[in-house]
Amino acid sequence: MLRNTLAHFAQRGGEWLIVESVMDIPHAVEKKCLSFGGCVAFSCCMALAALCSPVTKAEVEDAPTKTESPYFYLPGGNPAVDALPLKATDVSVRISGVIADVTVTQTYKNEGARPIEAKYVFPGSTRAAVHAMNVRLADRLITAKIREKKKAQQEYEQAKSEGKTAALLEQHRPNVFQMNVANILPGDDVRVELHYTELLTPENGRYQFVFPTVVGPRYNSPQSASAQEKWVAQPTLPKGKDSPAKFDLRVALDTPISIKEVSSPSHAIDSRSEGERHADIRIKPDATRAANNRDFILDYRLAGDAVESGVMLMRGQGQDAENFFLAMVEPPKTTPVSVIVPREYIFVVDISGSMHGFPLNTAKVMMSELLRGLRPGDTFNVLLFAGSCELLGEHSVAATPENIAKTMRLIDQQNGGGSTELIPALRHVYAQPKNGDSSRTIVVVTDGYVSVENEAFNLVRRNLGEANLFAFGIGASVNRHLIEGLARAGMGEPFIITNPDEAAEQASRFRQMISSPVLTNVRANFTGVEAYDVAPQSLPDVLSERPVILFGKWRDAPQSKAKKQFVIEGKGAQGAYRQTFPLLEMLDKNEAYFSALQHLWARQRIAERSDQENLTGDGRLREEITQLGLAYSLLTQYTSFIAVDEQKRHPNPGDVTSVNQPQPLPDGVSNLAVGGAFVPSTPEPESLGALLLTLSMLAMLARRRARQRRHHLTL
């Protein structure tokens, strides 16, 4: 943002003046003014510096702590310290049926002359059940243990103070993790292996595996309950600067029926088939484009474009072992209905700095598609938000061609700038009077680069009786935790758009989905066996092109003579719906899946309890979530993995430098997304306009004074 402002100034007769920090501005400007000859220009630059932030040296040194904002990484400092210890990330994925087993190997190496502690914030899948971690140090394998979060932190700090190499894995969000590795000695090569399991839920007959590679820079609102979270203050590489860490990803795909198509909308891939049901996929090396600045997305279809419905039923081993099941059922196809309740749509569109460029341009295309798809009887309104928010109209208006065209002209004028105050925007929408005869739907459009996820989820749940909510995430690496959580809280659906070509497709999918639910009053039952601890506890209306998913435990019902089967029932547009699956043939098959099923069940249970805890806000479920994490060896908000090498390797553990591994900006995101250490939040467009006008006037005065001075000299 500052560089763009200076560019405008230079175009109007000023000069570029690049400095390493705000503290260098006075000396540099004074030196430049000796040749420029204009005290007005000096005042102009000093005014700009003051607007950026008048800080002391102590404040500069402590800036990331004070702002708790992402900041641009600047090379330099002590040449004996390796500031980029993460050398490579290697991802190995094995997909069998609908379950993905993933191993992520992070390689850290200290190429400096001093011992270091490496800190790295990295993303994960929102559906991942992280269940194991190993550390390989030379020829030694250290298996991590799951611990209550505070206890793990204490063990880590103790090992660090004793000169032992240790690794700590913590969860800040379901899709944001942090790795700390202490006492990496010069020349050390440390490999940390993470293992997680994930369920792949098909949509419209298409299966998709997503591996996020980068955590986008989060705007941390000063009013947020999470304003002081340290992980948000992460170093970020400027746009166009690739991460020096290598990235490689391989997928082995095995399916129960023939693979019809394999593709990736995000990366160039090599795909080799071995028979009709197996394929090996790998990212192609690309010298012109980094691979680790956007989500890796793998799409595949099976022959017949059908979702593989069925029940996986696994029996545990041992007297007290638990038995688990997973049911996936494809709903009936959408059937049009002749009478639809009038609907009101309020679109909440993010126009903050991180949306500048590709995300906002894509949002405009999508908004055009969504608005054109409204029915004549629908009404709509649009709220644009950044640091402030404003509805385009006092009341919702009819979805006429004239109103849609007028709205799109206003949206097209937006360029993106400012902070991302999502909570005030949602509050403003829910405060709007509602027509009692219509059904209100809120549609949020954002990249999700905020740290107020829980506050947003709570707000949506408290107002669930006022409207349901759908969320569109736009960008190469969106905050899927926010997008999926908003949709789950609002009983809607999430939509992710990673490139402009997907805008029309996702808008069409949205229209088809909301036209009418395909199943209501959904019930799932077992006969012949007893099911318990089922998640989700109740099934919402089923929308089109998305299957019903159930996790749970089961036990034999010896007194029952009923046939062992799973039954799902509901009411569709054409009447009663019923589908039955026999269970005897499912028993004790694919025992290799048992471990995955217990982790997936526990992950779903934890997600439900976390949602409920966020709603009540009383912390009563903390202990249950913690015990689930400990019992099933899962990373949660209250449990962490800790691995400690018992050998004391560093004789002077007090002499350790902590380094924060920087991340690249997500592909398509501009530098406006980063507040930086000296610009905690980006000024609103109105402020920028006023600043540019002031700079232009001062530059004009400077040129006039220069001409007058030259005129006097010639005399």
714 CB-near residues (< 8 Å, 6+ apart): none
Report d(CA 482, CA 12) in Å as an integer.
42
Q: Which residue spans of the chain are classified as CATH 2.60.40?
A: 86-218+230-304+632-659
Averaged pLDDT for residues 128-152: 96
**In the prediction, which pLDDT does 33 show?**
41
**In the prediction, which pLDDT does 21 show?**
39
Instruction: Copy the structure tokens of residue 112.
Output: 């400096």
**In the prediction, which pLDDT does 693 show?**
52
CA quadruple 697, 702, 708, 711: dihedral sign: negative
Residue 407, pLDDT above cutoff 60:
yes
Q: Which single residue is written with the structure tokens 């905050």?
A: 479
Q: What share of the chain is helix, strand, coil (3-state, %, to 5)?
A: 30, 30, 40
Measured CA distances, 347 to 220, 363, 367, 606 (Å): 23, 11, 9, 31
Q: Which CATH class is domain 343-515?
A: alpha beta
**In the prediction, which pLDDT does 148 show?**
98
Q: Where is mean pLDDT largest: 106-115, 200-209, 305-314?
A: 106-115
**In the prediction, which pLDDT does 329 show?**
83
Task: For residue 375, count other CB atoms closer than 10 A to its CB.
Answer: 11
Percent of the chain with pLDDT over 90: 48
Q: Which residues, in sequence order, are bridge partners of residue 29?
A: none
Residue 440, pLDDT above cutoff 90:
no
Of the two residues 510 and 711, the one the predictor is more confident about is: 510
Task: For residue 591, count other CB atoms closer than 10 A to its CB.
Answer: 11
**In the prediction, which pLDDT does 38 show?**
42
**Out of 38-52, 241-255, 575-589, 700-714, which region has the weakest mean confidence (pLDDT)?**
38-52
Map residue 64 onto helix, strand or coil. Answer: helix
Contact between residue 389 and residue 424 where contact means Cβ atoms under 8 Å apart: yes
Residue 609, pLDDT above cutoff 70:
yes
CA-closest candidate to residue 594, choices 539, 632, 636, 556: 632
**Out of 179-188, 297-306, 600-609, 643-652, which region has the weakest mean confidence (pLDDT)?**
297-306
Residue 178, pLDDT above cutoff 60:
yes
Averaged pLDDT for residues 277-288: 92
Please, which pLDDT band fits residue 625 given cuts at 50, 70 and 90?
very high
pLDDT tens digits along 548-568: 888 999 988 877 778 888 998
Q: In what order do the strands lie in the sheet with 529-535?
A: 310-314, 323-329, 548-556, 529-535
Contact between residue 219 and residue 675 where contact means Cβ atoms under 8 Å apart: yes
Q: Which residue spans of the chain are classified as CATH 3.40.50.410?
A: 343-515
**In the prediction, which pLDDT does 15 show?**
38
- The beta strand positions in 392-486, using DSSP E, are 397-398, 439-446, 468-474
Averaged pLDDT for residues 223-243: 86
Residue 250, pLDDT above cutoff 60:
yes
**Out of 461-475, 644-658, 696-710, which region has the weakest mean confidence (pLDDT)?**
696-710
CA 648 vs. chain centroid, Å, equals: 38
288 CB-near residues (< 8 Å, 6+ apart): none
**In the prediction, which pLDDT does 509 show?**
86
Residue 14, pLDDT above cutoff 70:
no
Measured CA distances, 676 to 15, 63, 394, 682 (Å): 23, 9, 36, 9
Map residue 631 onto helix, strand or coil. Answer: helix
CA-closest candidate to residue 511, choices 366, 648, 640: 366
Percent of the chain with pLDDT over 70: 80
pLDDT tens digits along 667-679: 999 999 886 443 3
**In the prediction, which pLDDT does 624 show?**
94
Residue 9, pLDDT above cutoff 90:
no
**In the prediction, which pLDDT does 65 show?**
44
* pLDDT, averaged across the chain: 82
**In the prediction, which pLDDT does 585 show?**
65
**In the prediction, which pLDDT does 481 show?**
94
pLDDT tens digits along 627-669: 999 999 999 999 999 999 999 999 998 889 999 999 999 999 9
Instruction: Copy the structure tokens of residue 48.
Output: 């700009």
Instruction: Copy the structure tokens of residue 72.
Output: 């641009």
pTM of the complete model: 0.79
Residue 476, pLDDT above cutoff 80:
yes
**In the prediction, which pLDDT does 465 show?**
78
Averaged pLDDT for residues 22-44: 41
Contact between residue 34 and residue 200 where contact means Cβ atoms under 8 Å apart: no
Which phi and psi angles does 63 have, rounded to 5°?
A: -60, -50
Residue 172, pLDDT above cutoff 90:
yes
**Out of 35-44, 179-188, 344-353, 371-380, which region has the weakest mean confidence (pLDDT)?**
35-44
Please, which pLDDT band fits residue 684 given cuts at 50, 70 and 90?
very low
**In the prediction, which pLDDT does 307 show?**
67
Domain spanning 86-218+230-304+632-659, CATH architecture? Sandwich (2.60)
Please, which pLDDT band fits residue 436 given cuts at 50, 70 and 90?
low
3-state secondary structure 306-363: CCCCEEEEECCCCCCCCEEEEEEECCCCCCCCCCCCCEEEEEEEECCHHHCCHHHHHH
